[in-house]
Amino acid sequence: MVFGAGAIGSVLATLLSERHEVDVAVRGDRIERVAREGISITGTMERTIRPDPHPEGTYDVIFITTKAYETATAAEAVGPFTHEDSVVASLQNGMSNLEILEKHFGDHALAGLTTMGATKVDPVTVNLVDRGRTVVGPPSGCPDRARIVASMLNDVGMDCTVSSDIHAEVWMKAVINTSINPVATLAGRSNGAILEHPPLYRLSERACAEAVRAAEANGVALPVANAFSLVKEVIWSTRNNRCSTLQDLATNRRSEIDEITGALVQKGEAAGAVMAVNRSLWALIREMEGRPMDY
């Protein structure tokens, strides 16, 4: 089951349906539309699937692809759909998803991170720009379940690896997100604008450097030596994509800026790092959402 078929979840469900029976969990009016029209992916892949939007029974693997601020609610909701060997994997932004899932599912929980570029066109259509790279890993202990999930994803055309230190990967994804999402959102442009305009490039570079220092202050060894080089790779591969934060603001939805930049700022400051650039980005995006910071 894919719980939360937004942009990433819709692509994930579509890819997995090539080799697996896949149901999706969606809300409100989307239930009827998915049942009637299915889910369509355009862009680098053209495909329509008709998954069942009425989950029932139990599932071997459950992917949670909701917004990060909905993870706790999602974990409660999927509990009844698990059996003793079920794997519950997060494929989300944010820094606390694995901790939340681990409380509910123990070592059956996995964290997954992806640089996939996808944009929701309408409630049942998603434009896929780039499949990106995906990494999965367990909170601790045996990686067997992570290997099974990675194998599933690779079998349907995703580039997925297993990490022996998923916590460092979570930090790395937060560094990437905070270097791209708020900058592109403030510019109101697709990700590629960051590479095209020097002021945006410098702002992204400064946000990245500060986020790296926050990781160091927290004793986290990031999986790459040059974080901004990886940020630039992600920007280039998703250059035509409008980031999730920009998509959220365009549809008057709450973004994940608290769970991305906000969480990074709080962890950095708690460890003594100066987070002036990222705190400013956090505050500006919240102002744009109509949720001013409470200093």
pLDDT digits (tens, 9 = 90+) for 57-70: 999 999 999 999 99
Positions of the chain with pLDDT under 50: none
- Position 139 scores a pLDDT of 87
Q: Are residues 145 and 86 in the same domain?
A: yes
Same domain, 26 and 151: yes
DSSP for residue 50: -
Instruction: Give residue-wise pLDDT tens across range 60-110.
Output: 999 999 999 999 999 999 999 999 999 999 999 999 999 999 999 999 999
pLDDT for res 141? 73
Hey, is 45 helix, strand or coil? coil
In a domain, 253, yes or no: yes
> DSSP alpha helices (H): ranges in 44-96?
71-78
Pair 145, 172 in one domain: no
Quick one: 46 and 150 in the same domain? Answer: yes
pLDDT of residue 175: 97
Q: Determine the angle formed by the axes of helices 198-217 and 166-187, rounding to 10 degrees.
A: 150
Considering the domain boundaries, does residue 193 fall inside one?
yes
> Does residue 272 sit in the same domain as residue 184?
yes
Active site residue: 67, 173, 232, 267, which one? 173
CATH number assigned to the domain comprising residue 202: 1.10.1040.10
The total number of structural domains that make up the chain? 2
Full domain range(s) for residue 182: 167-289
Single out the residue in 130, 164, 198 at which a domain terminates: 164
Q: Where do we find the tokens 């280039």?
A: 236
User: Domain boundary at 164, 195, 210, which?
Assistant: 164
* Same domain, yes or no: 209 and 94: no
Question: What is the model's pLDDT at position 140?
Answer: 83
Measured distance CA(118)–CA(103) in Å, rounded: 30
Q: Do 270 and 252 fall within a single domain?
A: yes
What was the pLDDT predicted at 273? 98
Chain centroid to CA 181: 12
Instruction: Identify whether residues 192 and 115 lie together within a single domain.
Output: no
Bridge partners (DSSP) of residue 63 are: 2, 89
Residues 152, 238 within the same domain:
no
In a domain, 294, yes or no: no
* pLDDT score of 165: 93
For residue 70, the domain's CATH number is 3.40.50.720
Side chain identity at 73, as an amino acid letter?
A: T
First to last CA, the chain: 40
Domain boundary among 109, 143, 164: 164
Note whether 18 and 39 are same-domain residues. yes
* Alpha-carbon torsion, ordered 48, 30, 119, 267, to 10 deg: -130
Active site residue 267: no
**CA 199 to chain centroid:** 26
Residue 295 lies in a domain: no
Q: Are residues 200 and 256 in the same domain?
A: yes
224 and 273 share one domain:
yes
